[in-house]
Structure 1
Amino acid sequence: MSELIQRGKGLESEGKYNAALICFDQAINQGHSDHLFEAVTAKLNLLEQLNRYEDMLSTCDQVLKKRSNYDYYFLIKKGGILKTHFYHLNKHVECFNRALEVTNKTISKDPTKPWNYQEKAKALFLLDKFTECFETLEIALEFSVEAEEKGNIFYDQARYYEEWYEQTKNLDFLHNALKSYKKASSHGEDVDIYIESVRSTIEDYKKLETLNRKLEGTSKNAKNYIEKIELTDDMNDIFEIFDQAVLNVSDAKGLGELYASRAFYEFYQNTQNPFRYEKAMECLEKAIEYLNQARRKANGWREEDEINQKIINAYDSMGNHIESKAKERDDNELYELAIDLYIFANDIKAADYDRLNKISDLESRLGYGAIFNRRPQKSKEALIERMKAWRQYL
């Protein structure tokens, strides 16, 4: 059986997925309990890689019919698949309840093993029975003797607190997670990276609370809004903050920074979505418009230099995205537009050699030469009109 599993893994590494699945199936059908878990896990991992979730469910059902010692694991696995990929069917709860029944039977046979309680705690957590979950882990701790056992239980405790925080955004749970990770660390668990991550999240939470207090009125400081956006995960919330910000911020520099920032998130949201792409380009145009206004009122050369760099970044961003579209479509007119944007970026400040090389390469691609057949220069006004015309096409 183990030979079949190894052969299947070898075939999988060669990209021969169907042959690999046949090997894993043969290993499962042989029914030797010693290697059953390994064979099923190998098959499930490959099916997940291939996005064949219904086949994953069938595999779980197949092995659950065998009534092995691994029923708990495959019930949890099946429940996870149902919850993640077939949530609308609402069948995951049944799997987690069955897993809980299995752990209760196991505990009734051997009520002193900490691991049995850890398994029960996981099933309870997946059923959103959080209080019972943590009570069960406390029992596991009482039965644990070895430092490694205790460390593992504290690690589970920390993970559940952290996940509970994600669901509720209650900072108390995050503090509890930090305490549990520290206890896990003191018992030998390598959790330093998790401790730092939780600390960072707590700091971000506090910063967000401070910013929310600052923004309770109608703050006119664009930086406060941008900082809040950077601490926000949900894209819908991010765009709501932008909408609120442009209503409250009135200075040209702040508005330019806001629109430049929004363009980034519009591109990030979905560069293949025509509406998002058009919106992002529109935001960059507005950013340039407001930043140009701000530059005329700059307080000294330092501020002017800072604003110039923001304008250059906006032109470069537009140029990069349009050049990318030009490559996708092999569209010379889009290449022309990208060149103009790069040229205007270069005109603002001392030439950037990388950008100059990019301009030169694109001009050569279009058949322009340094001496003969020179490319005609276009005005910024003409560029703006062309951008508006091209925006929907992009």
Structure 2
Amino acid sequence: MSRKEPLLGALKACILSLQADKDPITDRNIHLTSLCDILEIILRKGIRQPVLGLRRRDYWHWLEQLPQLDPCSGLIQVSIALEKTIACKKLLTAQGRGRHYIRLALNQKILAVIIQHLRHTPRLIEWYDPESSILAIECFAEPFLSLLLVLSQMNFTLDLQNSSFLDESWLLPVCETYDTVPCRELGMVLRYTDRRVFVSEVIAGSQAEADECVYVGDIIDGINGISLRNAQRGEAQTVLQKLRGKPLSFEMIRWKWHDGTVYGPMLPHLQLMQKEIPNFQLQCDNKSNKVMEEDGLREDRLLYSLRFLGKMNIGMYGGKEVLDVGIEKVLEQNLPPQEVLFDVKETEVICLKNNSTQVLFHHHFPEISSVGHRLNRRTLFAYCVANSPETPQTTSFDCLVYESNFVEEANEIILRIAAGFRHTEWFV
């Protein structure tokens, strides 16, 4: 009677569940955590631990040796993926690096290639017990490889930047980006707990409160691409000082998970915060669960109901003189109008897909170079926005065109955007 391996049956069932869902497979897929957990159990099963030595072996330890022990041309992609994992500053443990590598391999469809090379590298396959390991037993290894080949045909689009909790859990938090214009003070009070940077207070009347994108209990995971995982006390302030006068992009880890409850792996950190700060209280995002009303109100703000007609690159100059040309080029595309909701805030404009929370465009005023309408069709208006405002010497400009229902409404939007330029002074 042939032997059976329950883990392979569980893996097959998980893959079938993933196949039943629509592509692409993202971090929100309910079957993803189970898939990754089963893959990790299989990769760990039967690893022989050294008799002497303090370091316990994990599958990451053979993964990082694979390119050196099997230096063939077929491992170029594997080596590049390995370098990306090693370079990730958000990972502190072998478990975290191994998990990041599995997610990266799923994205790049190379997990089967990795296991094939492992099985043909004697010095590494010897790490596994031939009596208990799925990778070392032929009748198990072949079906396992077949299942991995099925995975390589599936479309995974996992967010590899969201990796700061992989050391602790496969379950990942909600990770969002908060972009803000330069200002003297953001208005966030920070607390360093367990080598993470928590927001312990949002000051009333500050830029952070006005933007409604930062909440007490959230973690600042990075600023402008600089990781704050494992941050020393005062490190965030040092980074902000170096970036003074520049637009800021914060990677925020939310304390609230997708279902509205506290993200589980963050609970021990938040409990420690509560011990250190007796009056500490999580701040709720009141806007995230509100449903848009038919009259265009959202979070007590009036959103303009417009039609987005398209955008077109207009070259290296984005002054008001090119607006007519840009509008004409967009109209020549003859694209179907898209119903949108348009919000003009103090420092930015946001364009949302109608009947959805999906953000189509989000531009801060320093990125916008001009705004205006056509003289012969005054319900049309447009603005030019820089593609790469951080490199003004080489940037080009896009012209975005909208249509309003009324001339008065279009004029109002233009005036509000023009007034917004005065609220985005650059400080050095």
Whether the TM-score (by the shorter chain) exceeds 0.5 is no
- Coarse TM-score class (shorter-chain normalised): under 0.3
When Rg is computed on C-alpha atoms for both structures, the one with the higher figure is 1
Normalising by structure 2, we get a TM-score of 0.23
Q: Comparing both chains, which one has the higher relative contact order based on Cα–Cα distances under 8 Å and sequence gaps of 6 or more?
A: 2
Normalising by structure 1, we get a TM-score of 0.25
